[in-house]
């Protein structure tokens, strides 16, 4: 049995209260309708300045769904576990004025939730490279969050010629020593420290992906180790970490930062694991300034 200190009990209690507060909204059709309406409304707002295109292309015999918006050099945004392109909603407008954004849904998640293709992390970097080649992108800026950061690390390390700059939000892939069950408490803590208005997106995408897909991907993620890949990264790299991140704790930021020679580290206050959503303005400004300004 795991002994919990008073602060952990307090955090878990607060997290559970949040879940209970949202429960009657999350697990009924009205939540889905409201959430989808909010997403579409934001896309309509973006459409005033930029046209959002939803595209599909076949890679390895399977259809891949992605969105394109903005103008400028290509930048590819890769989401994390149990997520979708929706998780970048507070970053799109700021970045689209500088870059042509390619927001791709990974197999099993988001618009790819019904794909028969299963995401295998050891092959995910090759999959992303194949998608880039199919779309016609020879080189791009890579922006990845959590599991997506793990994928971007491997692609940047093994195929440096296709990566111009790298932005990693709390990238996974450094072993934590946790078991699958050991992620329960950090997950609840993450809910405690996430912006309240993000929670419907979190639960909506989780419901769409399904428990089995999430468990398989989590177990796969726990076996990954990118430490040998980190020194091979040559692209200028910006690391952004929420100071309240319980899933990929800030202590790992130093490990990644020291291993990537040309890297800068930004620690964001009052932000959890979904740092690019929790503190969107801070993150957007840092991405647009990079690499002109030194963060660390």
Instruction: Provide mean pLDDT across the span 172-191.
Output: 68
Q: What is the DSSP string of 75-121?
A: EEEE--TT--GGGGTTTHHHHHTTEEEEEEPPTTSGGGTT-SPPP-H
Higher per-residue confidence, 268 vs 7? 268
Q: Which residue has the tokens 């259809």?
A: 63
pLDDT digits (tens, 9 = 90+) for 103-127: 999 887 877 766 667 778 889 999 9
CA 161-109-140 angle, 5° bins: 20
Identify each DSSP E strand in the chain by its residue range. 53-59, 62-70, 73-78, 99-104, 140-145, 163-169, 237-242, 263-268
Cα angle for residues 55, 61, 63 (degrees, 5° grid): 20
pLDDT of 152 strictly over 90: yes
- In 3D, which of 273, 260, 268, 270 has the Cα closest to residue 284? 268
294 domain-assigned: no
| In a domain? residue 20 | yes
Per-residue confidence (pLDDT) for residue 3, from 0 to 100: 45
The answer to whether residue 295 sits within a structural domain is no
The whole-number average pLDDT for the span 7-33 is: 48
* Domain region containing 111: 7-266+274-289
* 2 within domain boundaries: no
pLDDT bracket for residue 169 (50, 70, 90): very high
* Mean pLDDT value across residues 210-225: 80
Residues making up the chain, counted from first to last: 296
Residue 277 to residue 16: CA distance in whole angstroms: 21
At residue 83, the pLDDT reads 82
User: Any idea which residue has 């979708």 for tokens?
Assistant: 84
pLDDT of 16 reads: 44
Helix (H, G, I), strand (E, B) or coil at 165: strand
The CATH number linked to 77 is 3.40.50.1820
With vertex at residue 227, the alpha carbon angle to CA 143 and CA 262, rounded to the nearest 5 degrees, is: 55
Task: Give CA–CA dist 277/239, Å, rounded.
Answer: 15
User: Is the predicted pLDDT of residue 291 greater than 70, yes or no?
Assistant: yes
pLDDT band at 44 (very low <50, low <70, confident <90, very high): very low
| pLDDT of the residue at 52 | 86
SS3 49: coil
pLDDT band of residue 146 (cuts 50, 70, 90) is: very high
The number of folded domains in the chain is: 1
Q: Quick one: angle between helices 199-209 and 6-26, nearest 10? A: 70
Both tokens of residue 6?
A: 């008073």
Average pLDDT across the chain, whole number: 81
Whether 1 maps to a domain, the answer reads: no
Residue with tokens 């177990």: 219
H or E stretch covering 58: strand 53-59
Query: Assign residue 251 a region: left if phi > 0, alpha if psi is -120 to 50, beta otherwise?
Result: alpha
The answer to whether position 78 is within a domain reads yes
Q: Is residue 296 part of a domain?
A: no
Q: Within a domain: residue 53?
A: yes
184 pLDDT band, cuts 50/70/90, is low
User: Quick check: 74 and 141 in contact, CB under 8 A?
Assistant: yes
Q: What angle do the packed helices 121-135 and 211-222 form, to 10 degrees?
A: 110
Question: What was the pLDDT predicted at 267?
Answer: 97
């Amino acid at each position: 049995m795991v002994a919990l200190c008073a602060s952990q009990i307090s955090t878990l209690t607060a997290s559970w209260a949040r879940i209970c507060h949202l429960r009657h909204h999350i697990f009924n059709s009205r939540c889905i309708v409201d959430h989808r309406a909010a997403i579409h409304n934001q896309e309509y707002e973006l459409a005033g300045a930029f046209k959002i295109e939803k595209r599909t292309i076949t890679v390895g015999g399977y259809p891949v769904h992605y969105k394109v918006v903005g103008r400028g050099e290509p930048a590819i945004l890769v989401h994390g576990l149990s997520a979708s392109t929706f998780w970048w909603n507070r970053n799109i407008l700021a970045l689209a004025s500088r870059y042509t954004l390619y927001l791709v849904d990974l197999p099993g998640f988001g618009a790819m939730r019904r794909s028969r293709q299963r995401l295998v992390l050891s092959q995910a970097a090759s999959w992303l490279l194949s998608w880039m080649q199919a779309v016609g992108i020879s080189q791009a800026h890579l922006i990845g969050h959590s599991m997506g950061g793990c994928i971007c690390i491997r692609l940047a390390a093994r195929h440096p010629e296709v990566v111009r700059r790298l932005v990693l939000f709390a990238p996974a892939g450094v072993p934590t020593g946790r078991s699958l069950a050991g992620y329960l408490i950090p997950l609840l803590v993450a809910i405690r420290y996430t912006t309240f208005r993000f929670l419907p997106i979190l639960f909506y995408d989780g419901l769409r992906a399904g428990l089995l897909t999430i468990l398989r991907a989590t177990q796969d993620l726990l076996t990954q180790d990118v430490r040998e890949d980190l020194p091979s990264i040559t692209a200028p790299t910006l690391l952004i970490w929420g100071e309240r991140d319980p899933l990929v704790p800030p202590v790992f930021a130093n490990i990644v930062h020291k291993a990537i020679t040309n890297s800068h580290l930004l620690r964001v206050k009052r932000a959890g694991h979904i740092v690019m959503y929790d503190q969107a303005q801070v993150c957007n400004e840092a991405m647009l300034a990079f690499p002109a300004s030194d963060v660390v």
